[in-house]
Chains A and B, each alone.
Chain A
């Protein structure tokens, strides 16, 4: 293996510490002893709240014909795996809803932004010009959300993002923006605390890509880490050769590296980082938390920690099974968040609401638990209940480690 001593110890310890059943059901394992670097234990996955509002509702939804909601986000473009994981959650929600509510058949319209901000503007215009769309799940990435937010605001079309984490998004005065998860002002400091306290790292290199998301998250992490930051580097979207960045990191010899970006670049970065035998621990955020990262980093992903304001879905029995059946894969990053966000919009339609204004109003006053957390937004569109988890790659699987914020 290409791993250095320290990582291997981490990995071995963590492997030993967890009873690994590929897709642990029920999720009430015994908290086991942690490894060399930390003494924490892998936390149990939460169960679905018993009072969680589900897409099916009570089956009495009534609405006009032809109403629709939209998923707008990457489907086939950059970092498509992240988008598809969400989209499948959305599809599942709409399917379950339409099955249960004969009186309200909602159409799901899917728009591909290819994950790029410049593409998003045009696509969003298309969606806005489609009058049948009363609510939007999306956009998944911070950059595209940033680019398109004003248009939604002007059109009065409500959006619930299942994954965009840039804190600045809610500070633009867009009254149509709602975030279905914690932002990087929570993830960043949580990750920093994890790196500093749980991993005990005293020196950290922070690397970010050139997206809004990467830049914003790296800033949060750097601020929270303070003096522990020994080097900062920037990489580019689609970059594949990282020898200079790796050289700088090697020269600084940090205990840990935090990579703020998406998995497309993170995979070759991780591979090249460890290729020369560098001894450090890599921590990456939600944008990297995908099986594609693990596969593409060819072995270098092993032992990498992944922070994410997403809740492990393995405890949500029914959802887990239904999703696996529909998508052919297990729920991944933000699948459950996408499902929850869709639920909120479907509830609004079930009420018979038929204008964008009414749906917007409904979402603003929404106050009910979902699978992942309780959904009630403040005036900025931020949730109050925002869990952050850390996961780790073990034996090629992304496994929940503990809740960190």
Chain B
């Protein structure tokens, strides 16, 4: 009877959640290193959410699918280049690097194209009709769904067989934690791409256009900024970075090429964008790294099964108490 309830709850209280601070401390550096490597992927994807939000005030729910299409693009490039699943390729280093860059290019192009198509097909007609924002979100959800399902029907619900170009190997140790060659590559490459994107937005004329539209669309239009072109540009930049993220993702987790592989990652990247301050490119960068690290601390503290809960709780808490994130909203004010 209900009499059991206290017992169940009490037992549950001891059982199902416990705080292992010792483990948190023990694995602090391990989690930091892993969190930064994984978080750089969040950062790259988060940029797409942030830019589009900054300019259109729209959560591009389908951005996670932009990402996963990039993953498939990279995967099929591997296949096309003659890599086979199962083993680790033994190609010479130079060849491997060239192939990786090729895959990066294909992934970025695939994602960029999907993002652009999405803008054209799903969002632009609505913008023309001056549809309410909720309609945009529903369209985005529908697009996300449709792309996922199309991939699933084309391939199948199971992940593609893994292909790995570089075998992971510990390179050196920081704070007693070994860093693998893949983690280092991914982290540095992501950082470089983010810096390029940042200086593009801050230094070039087109980038200034994006900032101007984000700050005040009407004035920007009056000042001669072509709003449509700016919108297109934000989708393309977001798409390109998501494509890069996709390659880095399958370098770390080669089993991740699967139709719904973008969903959770997309939500987390969005969380990262909100965490740093949505609409703010540097916020996305910061948010991605922070979320990657927090998530790992959380799972050390509470146990592996709580990892995703940690991410969602971070999302909710931030939206409720500081909806403008750490660095504040608005792309326009992103210049520090």
Contacts and interface: CB of A to CB of B under 8 A. Distances in A.
Q: Does a CB–CB distance below 8 Å link A and B in the complex?
A: yes
B163 A244 contact: no
B289 interface: no
A235 B299 CA distance: 12
Contact of A298 (B157, B164, B307): B164
B167 A247 contact: no
A277 B178 contact: yes
Interface string A266-298: 011001100111000000000000001011111
Nearest to B167: A2
A289 to B, nearest CB: 16
Nearest to B297: A244
A234 B164 contact: no
Interface residues of A, number: 38
A295 B88 contact: no
Interface stretch (B30-38, B106-114, B120-128): B30-38
Contacts of A233: 304
A234 B27 contact: no
B169 interface: yes
A297 B162 contact: yes
Of B157, B168, B304, B305, the most chain A CB neighbours within 10 A belong to B304
A95 interface: no
Nearest to A294: B86
Interface stretch (B54-62, B223-231, B252-260): B252-260
A395 to B, nearest CB: 10
A298 B163 contact: yes
Contact of A234 (B26, B30, B38, B305): B305
A77 B304 contact: no
A277 B180 CA distance: 9
B158 A234 contact: no
Interface string A220-238: 0000000000000111100
B34 A275 contact: no
B296 interface: yes
A240 B31 contact: no
Contact of B168 (A235, A245, A275): A275
Contact of A241 (B23, B31, B38, B88): B38
Contacts of A196: none
The 7 closest A-B pairs by CB, nearest first: A275-B168, A295-B86, A244-B299, A268-B255, A243-B34, A298-B164, A299-B88
Given A240-B256, A247-B27, A250-B30, 13 more contacts: A2-B168, A77-B157, A114-B157, A210-B305, A235-B304, A244-B299, A248-B27, A248-B304, A264-B159, A268-B254, A271-B164, A276-B168, A297-B162
17 contacts: A2-B167, A76-B156, A76-B157, A234-B303, A234-B305, A240-B253, A240-B261, A241-B253, A244-B299, A247-B34, A248-B304, A264-B158, A267-B162, A268-B162, A276-B170, A292-B161, A298-B163
